[in-house]
Structure 1
Amino acid sequence: MQLFASELVIQASIGGLRVGDMIFALVSFAVLLWLLKKFAWGPLMTKMEERENYIANEIDTAEKNRADAEKAAKEANEQLQATRQEAQQIIEDAKKAGQQQEQAIIQAAEDAAARLKKSAEEDIAREKEKAIEALQAQVATLSVQIATKVIEKEISAEDQEQLISDYIKEVGEER
């Protein structure tokens, strides 16, 4: 047996190695590997796959969120552009309305001025008519007074012509 044991011992420069110990170590290592594969490696790989799937899903979600954010930013820019155009249109419409209102105010002022002018002209014509009527009344009064003077005193033809021309001059000056 010693021979057998000696054969199983491999001589090495630094101590000897025993084949039995090596076989035991190999079997123990194999059992350990099998146990690790069954109880640790499988669950570890399952967890690693879950983690990989989780990371992949997170990357997909992030890509989707990025795409959604880009789409939302694009829509916001389009909406902002539309709002700017609408604001510009409102400003232009307000300018046009202001110009139209300005023209309407100017036209109304011109119409009012024309009405005032016409009214003033009518007032002037009425006052002129009143003045002519007053003048005619005064002429009638003067005529009566001249006739009274003529009747009171008899005058010559020359004096009568002188009275008439004086009267015409007075009437002309009053006008």
Structure 2
Amino acid sequence: MAPRKVRVGILLSGRGSNMTALVEASRDPACPYEVVLVASDKPAAPGLAWAMDQGIATWSLSPKGIGKPAYEAALQTALRDAQVETIALAGYMRLISDTFVAAWRGGILNIHPSLLPKYKGLDTHARAIAAGDPVGGCSVHIVTEELDGGEVLGQSEVAIVPGDTAETLAARVLEAEHRLYPRILAEFVAR
């Protein structure tokens, strides 16, 4: 009998390239997690269509007009109904409330496009280039109430080369994210 896999819910707001990497990694019989729900705050997010095509349950709701508490309550219900055990944020562009974080304490991971603790928040690649850093990269961390402030579980460095723009660096960092996130999520759920 195959070992039980940890049930993962993925939250996204866009195309879901990291979600795709996580789902594809989960298909390996040795992977310790399975993706049981893909949820979004953007009902038209392209990542939802991809997940549906793969036979993965999806959920979406726009928070516009209902407010953050009502939106997060509905999201909580969807996650609980799907028996999600761990949440992976994958391009989820909403700030999560402290109440939501507390309900999932230690059970939400995020991928961030910088070598944390450097460059929390947005515009990470432009900031790394402007600072003259020799490398950029990405980090997988546990989500806490502090923006991009939780324990870093893994990182991948990406060289910044002469002539790099925020866009060219972002493209290479995204490739590194697709390799790093599935590995770190698997290590996290297996511990």
The TM-score with structure 2 as length reference comes to 0.18
Higher helix content, 1 or 2: 1
> Taking CA–CA contacts closer than 8 Å with sequence separation of 6 or more, which of the two structures ends up with the larger relative contact order?
2
The TM-score with structure 1 as length reference comes to 0.19
Higher strand content, 1 or 2: 2
Structure number with larger C-alpha Rg: 1
